[in-house]
Structures are given as structure tokens and as C-alpha cells.
Amino acid sequence: MGEPITILAFGDSLTQGYGLSKQNGLVPQLDRWLAENGQEVELINGGVSGDTTAGGLRRIDWSLTPEVDAVIVALGGNDLLRGTPLNTVSANLDKILDRVAAKGLPTLLVGYRATANFGPEYKGAFDEMYPTLAARHDVVFHPYIFEGMARAVEAGKATRAEVFQGDGIHPNARGVAWNVQAMGPAVVELIEKVRAR
């Protein structure tokens, strides 16, 4: 198998692990899930609380250090909360994906979804932005950062209150565990792309 693969998890507070103990954030839980599924990987926590796609674009170049073999890009939630124009968000993500591709690094793009209060037109355009970008850049795609939580709630395995922290924005440790289970196979696909090079 050779050297462990190093993956940069590049995102906002959901990646950084806001409000959670060190071992319960997205990156450590994903690290454990990958180990349990036979993947020798080192994850770098490149999550910055409050970061937007513009902030991500400003720091992507210096975040792509020589040891990085692949990148998970998970940004856009704070743009949504701020009501940033969609063309700006899309252009920023486009440029981030271009910068990663220029380094020859496989990428996993993680989607976000707008809430219904933005109206159906905005929600439809926001939600469609991520699969469109993933197809354009030919990257691995995971449709929704809260996919696991959404599935658990829909299946009646948990209530919304049982998977979120008190702020209703950030998942608790249980919510993160659901999300990691849902995202894990896409990360394995990303790892396979690295190994296939």
C-alpha cells in the first residue's frame, strides 16, 4: 500500500468541528471510519469556523502543502447564511476547484442545500450549483454535508433536535457520526482515485 494518503479536509465550522470535543468533530470521526474500513489515511483539518467560499479561495493556495494527495472541499454554508449572490459563490468554488486541479490533486466536492425560507427559486438554483460544478470539474461528489442526519431523521431513527447542537446549525457528535457514515463511501472513492494515479 505504500505511504498513507494525506487528505486535506477544506471547509468551514462543520469541518473544523465547532462546539464538539476534539475526538467528535467531522475529521476525527471520519478518520476512525476510514481506519475501520481498511483505509490508511492521514486527514488534515483545514476547517475554519465562519469561512466562506471567498475566504476559502484566499487560503486555498497556501493550504495545498506538498504532502497533500487529495482534497475534500466543503464550503458554502456561510455564504448561504449571508445571502451571498449565487454567481459569486459558484465563481469562488469554480476557482477553488481549478486551483486544486492545477496541482493535479483528486477532489471530493461536498454539497450544501438551501433552506426553504430563501424561496423555491433560490433554493433550486443553490442546490443545483454543487452537482453542476462537480460534473464540470469531473470530481467525486457527495450531495449533502448533512446527508446522514437527513436520512436518519427521515427514517425515524432520530429527531432533528437529537442530531443538532443547541444552535440548530451545527451537528452534535451523534449527527456527525450519521454524516460520516453517509460521506465515507465518497471519501473511499477519492482515495481510490489517488491510488489509481
Residues that are catalytic = 13, 167, 170
Size (the chain), residues? 197
Rounded to an integer, what distance in angstroms lies between the CA atom of residue 69 and that of residue 66? 8
Name the nearest CA neighbour of 136 among 84, 101, 182: 101
Write phi, then psi, for 15 (nearest 5 degrees). Answer: -80, -40
Residue 44 has what DSSP assignment?
E
Q: Is 69:35 a contact under the CB 8 Å cutoff?
A: no
Residue 164 has what DSSP assignment?
B
